[in-house]
Amino acid sequence: MQATAYTYDPETRTGQVLLDDGTPVPFDAPAFDAGGLRLLRPGQRVRIETEGEGDARRITLVTLHTF
C-alpha cells in the first residue's frame, strides 16, 4: 500500500503517514526500522505494510516507494 509521510520524529523514529484518502495512520520505531530507512521527510511517498483491520490496523513496515 502507498502513503505519504506526514510526521516523523528522528529521536523516537515514530511518526504518521497519510493514506490516499487522507486518513492518518501512526507507525512505531519497529515499523520504521524494518524498512531500513535513516530519515523520513514529510511529503515523501512511502510504501507501507499493515496488519489488522479498522481501529486495530497497524503499520509493520515503512520504506520508500520506488517505481
pLDDT computed for residue 65 by the predictor: 80
Question: What is the pTM assigned to this prediction?
Answer: 0.89
Confidence bin at 67 (pLDDT 50/70/90): low
Mean pLDDT of 54-58: 87
First to last CA, the chain: 13
What element of type H or E holds 60?
strand 58-64
